[in-house]
Amino acid sequence: MLHRCAERAPGSVWLAERPGAPVSTDPWVTMTYETGLALARRIGQGLLELGARPDRPILALAANSIDFGLFIMAAMEAGIPIAPVTPAYGRNTANLSRLEHVAGLIQPDFILVDQGDAYSGALHALDLDDVKIIAINPANTGQTALDELKQAEPGPEITAAYASLTPDGTAKIMFTSGSTGKQKGVITTHRMLCSNMAASARVWPFMDDHPAVILDWLPWSHSAGGNHNFDMALYNAGTLYTDGGRPAPGQMDQTIANYRDVSPTYVTNVPLGYAALVQALETDEAMARNFFRRLDILFYASASLPQNIWDRLAALAARYGAGDIPILSGWGGTELAPAGTKAHWPLARAGLVGTPLPGSEVKLADAGGRRELRMKGPNVTPGYWNMPGKTREAFDEEGYYRSGDAGELVDPERPELGLEFKGRIAENFKLATGSWVVVGELRPAIIAAAGRVVRDVVVAGHDREEISLLVLPDLERCRSLAGTSAAEFTPAQLVRKPEIIAALREDLQEYNRQNPQSSRRIARALILDQPPCPERNEITDKGYVNQRAMLDNRAEQVAKLYTDPPGEDVITINMDVHDIQD
């Protein structure tokens, strides 16, 4: 796709980044398609001269940047698979188990790093000193600077390597987040990447109508950011602005600054990101007008969008958009590169994920009373890198990929209305009463019902009599509710203010009145004053809260929820409903 874009639109901007920290309004640094292809060929030639081989993927520890984008395309140009992983794996020297596992699978000859001095401790601890380091910003002469590779003269080697690429050749190794077990290296082929974009354009015609303009924070170490969004810009010579912001407390200011001068055509985010973004759009009219000025669609994935966030986005789009701007969703995963289904018509509510992409098939298979979404098609991985056992387990007897996700037809009599996502099967659990708790349905319903206080929740109750919650608070909304500023109270003080506790109790009592079943009713809640910790695998780079890790790491708080009598920081949700068993 890079070759095609460089031929059709050589002077168009491909990648853009904004230097400066912590919040920058400096001019964007840009890279055109013509220059990008020329540098990718140079870097690819340099990699071949260093001895990089197609059977030994390059491990990459780097944040999104123009140089990282160039390196990704250079490795693919040279036919060398690249395995990007989140930089946090190498920066947290107190826990290197994830990096050790990944490096053991890849067995790299080369590792790309963004900062040459940031990972030396980790690489030494894991006995990776003999691996050759390529650094975007080198720390010593023992590392090969990326700028050196940019000086290589493209020769017959890079031309031959590019000519030898095949659809089923490995382009990348994309690692799963490890939220339900150890990370797996998903073999991602050129066919998977290209079919994803070609099929997407069939259902979203605007992709062919004009180049995409995307501002995105999603990391390129994950399939949504590194495959879908990265390639969507490449598909029709669009522009990808790398966003230094994050949908987390104190980290949205950069995103807001960026959206004041970037008018996107396509916006994609995880539900946690939209929750943070919608607050800014509601309070900054100039930003909202620029945001919606030429927008085609709003897209979300990774988890079900809470209905209250959906409603607020729809109201903003109706107020500031130039026309009807649909809120769409889809379903997929790393093994699908990443898209499996997409909606291509206006949806009535959150949780609906559309129909299979053209050329792909979905099977709804029985999974202990639920229906598991399974897929077959050109977008599906052939397996996992150096994990033959896991590869065999990933496919059923008919060759369909087992996703571990639950779903149902919106209307069994009208399959054209598509599918509804029902959450991760592994997150569900049984109460001591024998009732199943479906976390994927419960979580967005609670967020929608208690949005005055709640940003996200962790659902507890395995083998217990009742469901309880660890609440991740929306600190900005809590401050507004309490009439305080950020400087007046710490998070720990804020979440214990009577106004916050009363609001949460009131909202959950109303929720219980509408959901009296034991598999949905909430007995107790505890508001956390510490956010999820990425280093402890409590939240992924995509902003998805890892329920299992949170419950394991916060075992002390979970125990408090089930201690009698409850502690003063545990909020009891008084029951005024009949005890209805499922």
Helix (H) / strand (E) element for 52: namely none
Q: What is the domain class of 428-572 according to CATH?
A: alpha beta
What is the pLDDT at residue 368? 78
Please state whether the predicted TM-score (pTM) of the whole model is above 0.85.
Answer: yes
Which of 42-56, 142-156, 183-197, 485-499 is the least confident region?
485-499
CATH 3.40.50.980 positions along the chain are 24-165
Distance CA 396, CA 374 (A): 9
In this predicted structure, what is the pLDDT of residue 576? 55
HEC profile for 448-509? Answer: HHCCCCEEEEEEECCCCCCEEEEEEECHHHHHHHHCCCCCCCCHHHHCCCHHHHHHHHHHHH
C-alpha to C-alpha distance for 98 and 89, rounded to whole angstroms: 6
Instruction: Considering the chain, tell me which residue range(s) the CATH 3.30.300.30 domain(s) occupy.
Output: 428-572
DSSP collapsed to 3 states, 64-108? CCHHHHHHHHHHHHCCCCEEEECCHHHHCCCCCHHHHHHHHHHCC
Q: Are 95 and 88 in contact (CB under 8 A)?
A: no
Question: Is a pLDDT exceeding 90 seen at residue 195?
Answer: yes
Pairwise CA distance, residues 201 & 231, whole Å: 12
Q: Are 311 and 304 in contact (CB under 8 A)?
A: no
pLDDT at position 498 over 50:
yes
Residue 317 has what pLDDT? Answer: 94
Q: Does domain 24-165 have CATH number 3.40.50.300?
A: no
Residue 568 has pLDDT above 90, yes or no: no
State pLDDT tens for residues 205-248: 999 999 999 999 999 999 999 999 999 999 999 999 999 988 77
Band of residue 577 on the pLDDT scale cut at 50, 70, 90 = very low
